[in-house]
Amino acid sequence: MKKIYFLLFLFSLLASISLHAQENILIKGSVLDKETGERLVGVSIVLDGKPPKSLTNTNANGDFTAKVPVNSTLILKYLGYRDFRQVVTAGQTNFTIKLASSAREMNEVVIRGYVARQKEETTGSSVSISGKEIRDIPAASAEDLLQGKVAGLNIQVNTGAPGFRGSVSIRGVSTLSISGSGENAFLSPTSPLYIIDGVPIDADGSTEYGYNSNSGISPLSMIPPEDIQTIEVLKDAQATSLYGSRGAYGVIIITTRKGNSKAPRIRYDTKFFLTDVPKLKETLGGQAERQARLNQIRKFGSEYGGFPESVINTLPALSDSLNPYFNNSTNWQGVFNKSTFNQTHNLGIDGGDDTFNYKTNLKWYNEKGIIANTGQDVYSLNMNMAYKPSKKFNVFFNVLTGLGKRNAGGGNGIFQNGVAENSNASSLLPGPSLFQSTTAVQSVFSIKNDNATKNLRANGEFSFMPIEGLRFTSTGSYEYIRNTEDTFTPSSASIIAGQNWSKLLSYFDRRAILYNRNAINFSKTINYDHSFNILLFNEISKRSFQANYMLNVGTANDYIWGPLGSSTMYSRGGGTLDNYVNVNTAAFSAFFSYNYKKKYILDLSYRLDGSSVSGFDDPYSKNPTIGLRWNYNKEKIFENANWLSSGSIRATWGRNVSPTGDIYTLYGTYSPSGNYVGSPSIGNDFGYVPNNTLKPTTNTTYNLAFDFGFLQDRFTLTYETYLKTVSNLLWDLELPTTAGFIKVKSDDASVVNYGHEANLNIRPLSAKSKVNLAFNINAALNRDVITQLPGGVTQVLQGEGTIASRVGRNAFSNYTIVTDGVYSTNADVPVDPITGLPYRNGNSAFFQEGDPRWVDINGDYILDDNDKQITGNLQPRLTGGLNTTIGYKGFSLLLTGVFTVKRTINNRVLADRLKSAGDIYGSRALLPIDELNYWKNPGDVAKFANPYDYIRYSRISPFRENQSLFLEDGSYFKLNTATFGYTFKKDFVKRLNVNSVRLYLSAYNIFTASPYSGSNPETVTPLGYDKSGGYPVARKYSIGFNIEL
């Protein structure tokens, strides 16, 4: 009976449910990250409907409860994750929902141009990266970890020096300007603009780039990767337009975490990592070196270069083998390169809810360089707080303090030439010790170099929404950066004016940026169909910079550094440097967006950018853009096409104008020059003739993009193609002497970049599958073409004639003599039929068998500068990355690879290596070159001339660097990172009274596959020179531990 009653009861219950389908039931659930199992706090639970209704958020444990109608649909929304739809049926009231990350999808909210919008409503080109993707690798700067994540963002980690930035560029070459010369030539940096928590940050400060100066650490290294919520990379002019001139080279927006937990939460993340020295050069040591040298001299010595035995007698290292000073076998590379053990700790505390939340993040990062006496320490404290007393008000504060310390040792900037030179020293020399070592070696170890950056940034934002849709926002920030460098060179390592005098260099600079932005934003949707968004804002900034240095010599001893005062006896100059900056900028911006049912979208924007250095008559440059988007998947014909989850076509045009001239360019400079007959005289500075018709550099970008998403976005593909014209590039043109002025800043050069970018995401398994599998492939093909050069010329040479830029070709090519093997026999050397003389090297020697066969381009039977040819391309043609994520239960595996295809590298290391063989008089190590195909006997068909023939070496320098012999393809694929993590089960963790525990292992810079014969095709200068003095990128193995209380 009871059973019957029960059945009846049940039946009636069911009946009632079916009758009253709208009846609410109480459900419970918890939300987890699908890959890591991490509990997600603050996930919005929304009830689907028209309009959707927000129900609740998950609490600090990632749990939620809600009352919902049966058969309704819940949508779980969380930043950085795919929306999850859960149908609530009567039978199920307890849910465990796993959200999959969605870094690249359409319904994500992105903050662009200081307005939050849904990504499917934006027209410009942008890519988002979730902070999760990069947080497990120990890196000083998050920037390095973006490598291979974004199509078109070309990051080359070209130095392993701790604290120095690699080169970063978006969509190809934007400048033709090269500083320095030869292998020290580098491209003027055109880094993207960084917006960190709503505030623009200069990443290219003159000293931060680190080529010329030791001091300064990139401000980006102050942002701990663990604290990053999202990174958004904006590529085309439409997306970057609202950032004005400074956004001309792209914009990277970094948003740090916000507090989001009812109960205070503590996150602790630590990594212990080992940096490993990459493979070093092979060298001959000790007796092997001596014997090889002796044999070489005996074989190739001749009466012209001195008879062999007499040559040997002039070289004590070879002849005096019993002298303890020369009786060594020192592994110099081992002396300078060492594996190091390092650690980083990150502690985050956050809490609060929508009304009030806070976050504090503390970081300590310590990395000792793999080269002796180098390393980096970063301490940072990042705090923010948001308060929303009512729906109308919103207050946000953020404070970042950072201290970065870096030790560049005896090196200068990213180059460690001292180490390179010393590690090439002959193994016969004694290793470093107080008494037996050269000044050069001492300098590597004993220079005390301390570069510190102190960074303080505070920003605040107030917003007020008097009526729904209308919002006033005011943002302000102040940033102060102070860089110092103290370098003490002890007397044992420095020779000044023939004396062992110690040297103390003290450098300091300060940079201050005051920034304010006031915005009015109005958005309105009429009849659900027509949405408008209008944004007006103005922006002002004051920037100042000043640097000073002093150099004293001759301290009392190597332990007392000073003070020495300013006596001319000790002072070797100093004072305020002339790179003083005091610039005010002001900008006005208007943005209008309209969409019809989120189907047709039109974006218009306009920005006026003014700067105090761009001239007073009309200081404003104008940046207009237009963007169109058609979300065709929302059209009627696709209504039932379930396979198509998203689809759109975007087209944008934008112009980004950056004034290049300053008031000095426009109006000239006047300088005092003493006096004449007692009157002070001031006259023109004749360095540059004023050019008041100078046009600002104009970046015009057309972007066409197609987005596809299939099968609930299991496959998404974005294809973009662009045409970027950089015109009116600044160029120094020399003037005829009749002008009096020496140069003019002209605006005649222009470069066009065009290319294709594709980004494919594949999640082969359904969202409900237990295994999470995601692949991402992105690639960017870029071609750069010079369309115009200054003064109407067709070719210009830079970097002491080694780099050519020619109209119609890629921006930078090598300009070298062309090598075509080696003269096999004397009969192969061409003979001038008119004079009867063989082909010769300048006026120094006739070529003979065993010499390089250099092509005589102009046919005059003389090899000289006129025989140089354009070869190669110094910029990568194709770059991209592969990312794989695999997750199962608590396990996760993340792999990233990056590739660069078609790029010419100038292998100066190989040239040095071959030269070392012929340089018997220098005290360089002898590197084994047996595996190289070099000419030995007449009749040999070889690639290289005989490197041991030291007589020819001095007469024709067969291994001069600037020849096509040393140009190689620098394509590479690098397995960049691998992370294997495990998140402990919740039950287990609960017992420990913590929320979650995660352990992971990661590796960085794992291996590089490349046809390049040198050690690493990536650690070359931005212009493709592989120098011996480069700093190798360490391989890092780390073990990490992440706990959340």
Q: Near other proteins by CB under 8 A, which window of 60-68, 454-462, 578-586, 850-858?
A: 578-586
Q: Indicate whether 540 belongs to the interface with other proteins (CB under 8 A).
A: yes
Dihedral angle of Cα 233, 238, 244, 246, to the nearest 10 degrees:
40
User: In Å, what is the CA distance from 678 to each residue of 158, 674, 675, 685, 742?
Assistant: 57, 9, 6, 21, 29
Options 79, 170, 535, 744; binder of other proteins; rule CB under 8 A = 744
CA 194, 747, 244: angle at the middle one, nearest 5? Answer: 25
Q: How far is the CB of 676 from other proteins (least distance, A)?
A: 4
Neighbouring C-beta atoms of residue 66, cutoff 10 Å: 16
**Element at 74 (helix H, strand E):** strand 73-77
d(CA 594, CA 607): 18
Options 16, 339, 681, 825; binder of other proteins; rule CB under 8 A = 681
Q: Indicate whether 794 belongs to the interface with other proteins (CB under 8 A).
A: no
Q: Near other proteins by CB under 8 A, which window of 29-37, 290-298, 673-681, 818-826?
A: 673-681
Q: Indicate whether 263 belongs to the interface with other proteins (CB under 8 A).
A: no
Options 111, 274, 288, 689; binder of other proteins; rule CB under 8 A = 689
Strand pairing of 530-553 and 503-526?
antiparallel
Q: For residue 79, give the nearest of 130, 22, 36 by alpha carbon.
A: 130
CB nearer to other proteins: give 289 or 747. 747
C-alpha of 983 from chain center: 31
Q: How far is the CB of 901 from other proteins (least distance, A)?
A: 40
Options 90, 735, 760, 1006; binder of other proteins; rule CB under 8 A = 735
* Phi, psi dihedral angles at 662 (to 5 degrees): -125, -175
Q: How far is the CB of 736 from other proteins (least distance, A)?
A: 4
Q: For residue 986, give the nearest of 98, 130, 81 by alpha carbon.
A: 98
Q: How far is the CB of 792 from other proteins (least distance, A)?
A: 11
Q: Indicate whether 615 belongs to the interface with other proteins (CB under 8 A).
A: yes
* Phi, psi dihedral angles at 1011 (to 5 degrees): -75, -10
Q: How far is the CB of 461 from other proteins (least distance, A)?
A: 19
Q: Near other proteins by CB under 8 A, which window of 180-188, 290-298, 669-677, 1008-1016?
A: 669-677
Q: How far is the CB of 668 from other proteins (least distance, A)?
A: 4
Q: Indicate whether 723 belongs to the interface with other proteins (CB under 8 A).
A: no
Q: Indicate whether 565 belongs to the interface with other proteins (CB under 8 A).
A: no
Options 390, 567, 738, 835; binder of other proteins; rule CB under 8 A = 738
* Phi, psi dihedral angles at 331 (to 5 degrees): -90, 90
Amino acid, res. 824:
S
Q: Indicate whether 592 belongs to the interface with other proteins (CB under 8 A).
A: no
d(CA 155, CA 176): 19
d(CA 874, CA 158): 14
Q: What is the CA radius of gyration of the chain?
A: 33
Q: How far is the CB of 511 from other proteins (least distance, A)?
A: 16
Up-side HSE of residue 642: CA atoms within 13 Å toward CB?
A: 0
Q: Indicate whether 24 belongs to the interface with other proteins (CB under 8 A).
A: no
Q: How far is the CB of 961 from other proteins (least distance, A)?
A: 28
Options 268, 667, 702, 715; binder of other proteins; rule CB under 8 A = 667
Q: Indicate whether 678 belongs to the interface with other proteins (CB under 8 A).
A: yes
CB nearer to other proteins: give 19 or 682. 682
Options 54, 71, 671, 825; binder of other proteins; rule CB under 8 A = 671
Which residues, 816 to 875, sit near other proteins by CB under 8 A? none
Q: How far is the CB of 703 from other proteins (least distance, A)?
A: 31
Q: For residue 962, give the nearest of 1024, 1010, 1006, 1008 by alpha carbon.
A: 1024
Q: How far is the CB of 617 from other proteins (least distance, A)?
A: 9
Q: Near other proteins by CB under 8 A, which window of 208-216, 363-371, 685-693, 869-877?
A: 685-693
CB nearer to other proteins: give 608 or 951. 608
C-alpha of 256 from chain center: 19
d(CA 245, CA 250): 10
Options 24, 96, 295, 582; binder of other proteins; rule CB under 8 A = 582
| Beta bridge pairs of residue 647 | 708
Q: How far is the CB of 396 from other proteins (least distance, A)?
A: 23
Options 209, 741, 812, 815; binder of other proteins; rule CB under 8 A = 741
Which residues, 464 to 523, sit near other proteins by CB under 8 A? 520
Q: Indicate whether 585 belongs to the interface with other proteins (CB under 8 A).
A: yes
Amino acid, res. 661:
G
Q: Near other proteins by CB under 8 A, which window of 21-29, 112-120, 674-682, 1037-1045?
A: 674-682
Q: Near other proteins by CB under 8 A, which window of 307-315, 574-582, 855-863, 882-890?
A: 574-582
Up-side HSE of residue 543: CA atoms within 13 Å toward CB?
A: 15
Contact flags string 762-791 toward other proteins, x per CB under 8 A: -----------------------------x
Q: Indicate whether 690 belongs to the interface with other proteins (CB under 8 A).
A: yes
CB nearer to other proteins: give 8 or 793. 793
What are the DSSP E strand ranges found in 444-570?
448-467, 470-489, 495-496, 499-500, 503-526, 530-553
d(CA 1025, CA 906): 5
Q: How far is the CB of 98 from other proteins (least distance, A)?
A: 49
Q: Near other proteins by CB under 8 A, which window of 344-352, 483-491, 676-684, 836-844?
A: 676-684
- Contact of 1009 with 882, CB cutoff 8 Å: no
d(CA 288, CA 928): 10
Q: What one-character DSSP code corresponds to residue 287?
A: H
CB nearer to other proteins: give 586 or 644. 586
d(CA 299, CA 189): 49
CB nearer to other proteins: give 339 or 582. 582
Q: Indicate whether 939 belongs to the interface with other proteins (CB under 8 A).
A: no
CB nearer to other proteins: give 674 or 836. 674
* Two tokens, residue 518: 């006031």
Q: Near other proteins by CB under 8 A, which window of 45-53, 168-176, 734-742, 959-967?
A: 734-742
* Two tokens, residue 223: 């942002």
d(CA 310, CA 99): 80
Options 25, 55, 456, 583; binder of other proteins; rule CB under 8 A = 583
In the block, residue with structure tokens 């004016």: 497
Q: Indicate whether 792 belongs to the interface with other proteins (CB under 8 A).
A: no
Which residues lie closer than 8 Å to 447 by C-beta, 6 or more apart?
A: 373, 409, 410, 487, 488, 489, 490, 493
In the block, residue with structure tokens 């040239």: 911
Options 49, 264, 334, 740; binder of other proteins; rule CB under 8 A = 740
Q: How far is the CB of 395 from other proteins (least distance, A)?
A: 22
Q: What is the size of the binding site for other proteins (CB under 8 A)?
A: 54
* Two tokens, residue 32: 């987890």
Amino acid, res. 36:
T
d(CA 457, CA 475): 13
Q: Near other proteins by CB under 8 A, which window of 44-52, 585-593, 772-780, 816-824?
A: 585-593
Options 51, 324, 565, 736; binder of other proteins; rule CB under 8 A = 736
Say whether 746 sits in a helix, a strand or coil. Answer: strand
DSSP assignment of 693-728 equals TPPPEEEEEEEEEEEEEETTTTEEEEEEEEEEEEEE
What does the binding site for other proteins look like in residue numbers (CB under 8 A)? 520, 538, 540, 578, 580, 582-586, 588, 610-613, 615-616, 619, 663-664, 666-684, 686, 689-691, 733-741, 744, 791
